[in-house]
Amino acid sequence: MCPALPDQVIEVRDAGPVASGPLDFDGTALLDGAGELATAALALARRFAAGGTMWCLAPGAPHHGRHIAVEFVHPVIMGKRSLPAMAVEESNDPVASVRLLVRPGDILVVVGDADDAELGRLLRRGDSWGLLTILLAGGSPPQADLADHVVRVGAIDDGGALLAYHLLWELTHVVFEHPGLLVGPEPVCRDDVCITCSDEGRVVEVVSTLEDATAVVLADGRRESVDTSVVDEVKAGDLLLVHAGLALALIDEPG
């Protein structure tokens, strides 16, 4: 039988050393990421408003992926709209599965350690596939440009990740109360003129190679052909740095 529930503080007797100890997660890391969570929520709401689907991945701790999906699909607060979110539980080759599932305009949320090589391979392809990418990063500090939005959450299962995606859900629904802001001035790349990257070039994934030193690539989710005459042999799945229709370099990927 449960004891009655007193509101006053219960005297602690013979408490376990850990049960009453300090929290594993004290919120400090996430407080630093509050601004990033805000901009991520704005971008996320805009993608949803434009018809995007959110794909949720957490290969090392798949329960996070499922939790994010259920949070958005079946809101705990009545009256909030259901949003398309789906967990991808593929630890074997997440790149292949996500590539197959996504459409340009979709969102990819990843919970994982920033130094996970497979997650890096996935996130680096986000721009090429036309995705908004959000990384809730555990472990060591991630490269800032590994995803469109990077929020550090501490160790993956110490509570920071859960809090971060709860906040992402809450803030996204606040953005929905501002219809005027849902049509975002998101910069887009068109033809040879790239608004976001100007002359720095874009990272694209090779779809297939042709005989005359050209390759079909995906750029922002659209197929284009690029000249590969100045790079080494390329194959489907490779990442290329491209500018003005010319592949400048083959991107070396660890793993």
Partner 1 sequence: MTVSSSGVEPTGFLYPFIEAEERDSGPLLVDLATSAREKIAASVQLKTDTLELRAAEIESAAGAMADRFARGGRLYAFGNGGSATDADSVVARFRRPPSGVALAAASLVEDRAILTALGNDVGFELIFARQLIAHARPDDIALGISTSGGSANVLAGFAEAARRGLLTVGVSGYAGGAMAASGDVAHCIVVRSDSVHRIQEAQDAVLRALWAGVQAHLAGPPR
- Give the binding site for partner 1 (CB under 8 A): 1-3, 5, 7, 9-21, 23-27, 30-31, 34-35, 37-39, 41-42, 61-64, 66-67, 70-71, 74, 76-77, 80, 157-159, 162-163, 166-167, 169-171, 173-175, 177-181, 184
Residue 28 or 229: the one with the smaller Cβ distance to partner 1 is 28
- Could you tell me the smallest distance in angstroms from the CB atom of residue 157 to partner 1? 7
Bridge partners of 152? 137
User: Residue 219 phi/psi, 5° resolution?
Assistant: -125, 115
Q: CB-wise, 1 or 193, nearer to partner 1?
A: 1
Q: What are phi and psi of 79, to 5 degrees?
A: 95, -15
Amino acid residing at 82: S
In the Cβ-directed half-sphere of 140, how many Cα atoms lie within 13 Å? 4
CA triple 253-39-218, angle to 5 deg? 35
**Residue 88 Cβ, how far from partner 1 at the closest point, in Å?**
15
Q: Which residue, 17 or 255, is less far from partner 1 as judged by CB?
A: 17
Number of residues in the chain: 255
Contact predicate 52/107, CB 8 Å: yes
The minimum distance between CB 251 and partner 1, in angstroms, equals 32
- HSE-up of residue 104 (Cα within 13 Å, Cβ side): 11
Q: How far is the CB of 2 from partner 1 (least distance, A)?
A: 4
Q: How far is the CB of 111 from partner 1 (least distance, A)?
A: 12
User: Which contiguous run of DSSP H or E holds residue 84?
Assistant: none
- Alpha-helical (H) ranges within 74-214 are 94-101, 117-124, 126-129, 160-175
CB of residue 67 vs partner 1: minimum separation in angstroms?
4
Between 177 and 191, CB nearer to partner 1? 177
d(CA 133, CA 150): 9
3-state secondary structure at position 191? coil
Nearer to partner 1, 79 or 254 (CB): 79
Nearer to partner 1, 24 or 93 (CB): 24
Cα separation, 157 vs 150, in Å, equals 17
Least Cβ distance, residue 8 to partner 1 (angstroms): 9
Residues 239 and 229: their CA atoms lie apart, in Å, by 15
Return the number of the residue (38 or 246) whose C-beta is nearest partner 1: 38
